[in-house]
Structure 1
């Protein structure tokens, strides 16, 4: 029988070593030196001290790092390596700088955005006067909660590309849309494309705020229509721009080729059932491309029907006729108009003809005039890199139509 293995003698657990007072004092003194005014310490001495402080902070406990961060928060200029170390630290350490230091550089904040945590990014998004470059970096993360904080920051600044990115994000994050609509950086081109995925309240706000008149453009270029006509409308770019600006919405030339005598007759025929052929005829007679018409007729909310009818001078009853042709319920069990149709009729009543034309022309411009074969392929494949970054209608078409092709 083998002998049992000898047991190790009992050793009491080693008591934790008390934290050296010299370390805490040294960290404080080094931070004090870094904070000295330029009259007391030159740039090289400050940098040397900061390097030593960085080495010590990398092994310091959280409480010690927090104390140093609070000490440096009021410093006008902090050495780069030191500030980046503290900004990338735990949020309890970085908070002192992010909340209290007004002089953090954009480069340091962007570095923090890209290398720290969600909570760091949320805190940066709350800072007073967030610069455009920092906002762009925050939005790049694609975190809706960070973007929501940024949009609520009235003193933050959003660049054009930042707004473009957030507009695209709002399609999958409905909470962002009402916040975007309150931003001064938002332009009609953004609002018109967001209309397609906005809820009823947001759609009403878009039409009230962004459905602008084209009267100033019509006055500015009024004499150019005759000149373009004399030239036979040879220049395609001028033709597209003038078509957007002109007052007349209906396409008179389409009447000669249409089986209907007028747009009103086509709408009346649609009451028995809006077939694809009738829908295309209504689109042509309304001065629209069939793709734009299809987007309007298949919209689940129905507000675009009101825009179409008002812009083309159709009577109020035409909205109900198209609604009936789409086989949508008109009344409830009590005989009262259903809320959805009532809402659409209210849109018809509230918007002026010229403003409705602006919205309708923009939709047609963005959803059809920019639709090249290459863009169509990019939309089907979801290839946003193929879209011309300077083309407003191309970007709008990508956003508005990309999911339609995926159905």
Structure 2
């Protein structure tokens, strides 16, 4: 063993003192101010430095990167080499260098490793173009780092993609809800898989009033009525805006005197598929929406339904019992789920509860077409209209229901 080691030591190359000195000198020249070296000279020196730097040890490359990080301008070839180097070499540039353009960061994100993308995700002032590429990989750690970076900007298309990822990666939900770019359309669909605290945040921040819309289109209701409500586009929009939640026409056809009677029947006999559909019709929503609400494991959507339709606390309790959901724990205390549902009922104003309920109904049923249903069942995302907010929301919210 000793002889072998001795022979290996005999063939080790001698220390390259001249090369190391050249490396430092060239880095010094690249670092000269613009008053001492013009852009073409800097570029030529940079090309030469790349050749000397490529075979250098990692520690030497890291020292050069540290030396160059404070500069406001770097030769392109040198940036490309260092940014794609080992993480410890690229780190000084990715963390601090102001000379990096969006193109530099995008190229590094595409060509380097996840460690590089994590460092990019922490940079201040990331543009939408950079975050689009960073998040396109679907890496949960990188997504979390970008969401935690308050100075990073996200496009709505990218944000919708992250919302879709959050369905399986629920740990992303709290950070998503803090993003300034998030809109009600995304928050309402996220509600279905958020935890209790995040659901409360959705309702507190995004359960908006429709009062301004109602004031602006007040005269349009008369126009639509005069036309016999024969325009389906106008009818759907006005149904979302109007103040009345319950469906008066459904009451005339229902075997129950009103919504309260249907809820009482459910409490007495339990919920059946037909009764869920009937409660939905009387509430002014589609059976599919009612089924999604009644089947939600958290229970908060039931409180929203009751508040939006003017049902009382006693009606809420009756509906809760009809679902065979617990009111107390084994120790006799109020069950956490029931406590949370009651709190949800109390915290929401009627108008805001109606906004959430109608948005769910709009996205979960009004947008459904045979093409969309096939896309949801078969996972054919290309069949979903990229410009249709309700179609995209329905695809996310209903994927599990169709066994996707």
The residue that corresponds to 2:165 in the other structure is: 169
Give unmatched runs, 5+ long, in structure 2.
none
**1:215 partnered with 2:203:** no
Equivalent in 322, 325, 347 of residue 328 of structure 1: 325
- Distance (whole Å) between structure 2 residues aligned to residue 11 and residue 370 of structure 1: 77
Task: Please report how far the alpha carbon of residue 48 of structure 1 lies from its aligned counterpart in structure 2 after TM superposition.
Answer: 2.1
Alignment of 1:374-389 (within 5 A): 374-389=371-386
Match of 2:175 in 1: 179
The aligned residue for residue 85 of structure 1 is 81
CA distances 1:303-359 after superposition (whole Å, capped 9, x unpaired): 100000100011111111111111222233454432211211111111110000000
> Does the CA-based 8 Å contact 2:71-2:98 persist in structure 1?
no
Name the residue aligned to 1:113: 109
- 1:254 aligns to 2:250 (yes or no): yes
Residue 192 of structure 1, CA deviation: 0.4
Pairing 1:142–2:138 present: yes
From 306, 314, 329, give the equivalent of 2:303: 306
Question: 75-84 or 39-48, which moves further after superposition?
Answer: 39-48
Report what 2:230 is aligned to.
Answer: 234
CA apart distance, 1:35: 2.5
Deviation at 1:10, TM superposition (A): 12
Q: Distance in 1 between matches of 2:113 and 2:4?
A: 47
Counterpart check, 1:33 vs 2:4? no
Find the counterpart in structure 1 of residue 355 from structure 2. Answer: 358
Q: Bigger CA drift: 36-45 or 286-295?
A: 36-45
User: 1:238 deviation in Å?
Assistant: 1.3
Work out whether 1:341 is the aligned partner of 2:338. Answer: yes
Which of 95, 101, 105 is the equivalent residue of 1:99?
Answer: 95
Q: Per the alignment, do residues 150 and 11 of structure 1 end up closer, same or farther by CA in structure 2, a change over 3 Å counting?
A: closer
Deviations 1:44-63 (A, max 9, x none): 33222222221222211112
Report SS of the residue matched to 1:366.
helix
TM-score normalised according to structure 2 size: 0.95
Give the Cα–Cα distance (whole angstroms) in 1 for the partners of residues 160 and 5 of structure 2: 69
Aligned residues: 400
CA–CA separation in structure 2 for the residues paired with 1:245 and 1:11: 86
Q: For residues 14 and 288 of structure 1, do their structure 2 counterparts lie closer, same or farther at Cα, with a shift above 3 Å needed?
A: same
2:70 aligns with 74
What's the counterpart of residue 398 of structure 1? 395
State the partner residue of 2:152.
156
Q: Which residue of 2 aligns with 1:197?
A: 193
Distance 1:120 1:279 in 2: 52
Correspondence for 1:125 among 121, 124, 147: 121
Separation of aligned partners in 2, 1:58 and 1:237? 63
Question: CA 1:305/1:10 → structure 2, altered by over 3 Å: closer, same or farther?
Answer: closer
1:20 aligns with 2:16: yes
| Residues 239-274 of structure 1 deviation map (CA, whole Å, 9 limit, x = unaligned) | 111111110000001112211111111111111210
Greater displacement, 249-258 / 66-75:
66-75
> What residue number does 1:277 align with?
274
Instruction: Measure, in 2, the Cα distance between the counterparts of 1:229 and 1:11.
Output: 99
Could you tell me which residue of structure 2 aligns to residue 4 of structure 1? Answer: none
What RMSD in Å do the two structures reach over aligned CA positions?
Answer: 1.8
**TM-score, structure 1 length as denominator?**
0.94
- Give CA deviations for 1:144-201 in whole Å, capped at 9, x if unaligned: 1111111111111111122111111111112110111111111111110000001111
Larger mean CA deviation between 259-268 and 356-365 belongs to: 259-268
Q: 1:367 to 1:69 in 2, by over 3 A?
A: same
Partner of 1:5: none
Of residues 302, 305, 313, the one that matches 1:316 is: 313
